[in-house]
Chains A and B, each alone.
Chain A
Amino acid sequence: MTGYFSDVAALARKDLLVELRTRDTVPAMLLFVVAALVVFHFALPQDSSELAASGMLWIALLFTALLALVRAFVGEREQSTLDGLILAPCDRSAIWLGKTLSVLAFLLFAEAVALPAFALFYERVTWELVAGVALANVGIATVGTLLGAMAAAARTRELLLPLLFLPVAIPLVVGGLGATVADDPGRYLAFLGLYDVIFAILSWASFEYVVTE
């Protein structure tokens, strides 16, 4: 068991170190999410409610997450690394977990900038919003990593991943938005938790079927 988790840690650390050195993904995510928030200002009609702005935040987060997910598996370098990892003696699902953790880290970095920006441009960030974002992150990272691995086998990887991801992400948007604006955020947070549990287990269990030849 300790072997499993040390594999996971090693894999996650590898991704983070690579990102630290190359700085490919996170800066782009930061810039993208801020740019998106600015664009939304011009996209929202004058008499839009504050609620519309919250909705826009969730769209921005979703598409920023897609940036990270596309980078996670579909880079050519990544594909050959993945092939190498498949041959390694570690449990395949450890690859999934390691990748999920690194995606999660990238998301947290992006949100560390996105949420203050949102507070600056639109309205204050409540603890319910933060909780919603945290729970949604888990769902995005777990399912997104699995779908990224699926898309990686296809010829049209970068196109396919958003198509696979968006329908599955709809419940996350509902849960997140509800946590932000509804009167009883607890229900929505609980729903996000349920989503996370169901899909994390499914993703963890099915990863090896998706990557083995």
Chain B
Amino acid sequence: MSTSLRNNGAAFLALSAAALLVAGLGLALFWAPEDADQGISQKIFYVHVPVALTSYAAFFWAAWKALRLLWKGGERYDLESYTAVHMGVIFGVLTLVTGSIWAKVSWGHWWVWSERQLTLFLILFLFYSAYFMLRYSTDPGPRRSRTSAVYALFGVALIPVSFMAIRLAEGLIHPVVFKRSGPDMDGTMFVTFCVCLAAMLALAGGLYLLELSGKRADASLRELRERLA
């Protein structure tokens, strides 16, 4: 019963994501005003920031599931946490790529250290990539689940700490040359942003449920195979 609910959940989210993405794209390109300074390239904002926020959301979701694992136990939380981290990394990479594109068009460089969010995502990318290394090189079992869960929790603790570090580092290292004035969002921009954010969250949610289905099917098959052997 819960399986079919999950499958329908994935379909529902995928459908919502499709609708919201189309709506968001339309609004961003045709309705939202063009930025006075940056011109049309500012509209990358409507992809870049929602993707970044979705990535954070995924990491927090992973940490929540990790906490549940450590608190109550239960292998399902391990799969859920793992899949959520995977989503977080995928959207994290998208954040880095879209951010890089935006940097290139804004300032002519593919990477600028003065972009705090990008630097933070770089650190998080390194951190959560090591998560996969950890999982792949540890034998499956309760110890791996618990270790992964602890690591996922460390990740969310690292997010604010790293951000503070990046801010503190700005005074020390590269001079702050490139600064983008944050959009003071008026009504239309805000609505567009919200639609795009909802779209990304729905997309991530749909992909998450889909991937989770696949992993559970894998696990069930493995169990079946063992029983038949």
Inter-chain contacts of A171 with B (CB < 8 A): 158, 161-162, 164-165
Contact, CB under 8 Å: B162 / A170:
yes
Contact, CB under 8 Å: A164 / B134:
yes
**Whole-angstrom distance between the alpha carbons of A182 and B151 in the complex?**
32
Closest CB in chain A relative to B19 CB, distance in Å = 37
Contact, CB under 8 Å: B153 / A154:
no
Q: How many residues of B contact A (CB 8 A)?
A: 34
| Contact indicator per residue, chain B 96-130, by CB within 8 Å of chain A (1) or not (0) | 00000000000000000000000000011011011
The yes or no answer to B168 lying at the interface (CB within 8 A) is yes
The yes or no answer to B149 lying at the interface (CB within 8 A) is yes
Inter-chain contacts of B154 with A (CB < 8 A): 143, 168, 199, 202, 206
The yes or no answer to B68 lying at the interface (CB within 8 A) is no
The yes or no answer to A191 lying at the interface (CB within 8 A) is yes
Closest CB in chain A relative to B112 CB, distance in Å = 18
**Whole-angstrom distance between the alpha carbons of A170 and B125 in the complex?**
13
The yes or no answer to A167 lying at the interface (CB within 8 A) is yes
13 contacts between A and B (CB under 8 A): A150-B150, A156-B137, A164-B130, A167-B126, A170-B123, A171-B165, A174-B165, A194-B164, A195-B161, A198-B157, A206-B70, A209-B70, A212-B143
Which 6 residue pairs are nearest across A and B when measured between Cβ atoms?
A171-B165, A167-B127, A154-B137, A174-B165, A167-B126, A206-B150
A: which residues have CB within 8 A of B? 51, 143, 146, 150-151, 153-156, 160, 163-164, 166-168, 170-171, 174-175, 177-178, 181-182, 187-188, 191, 194-195, 198-199, 202, 206, 209-210, 212-213
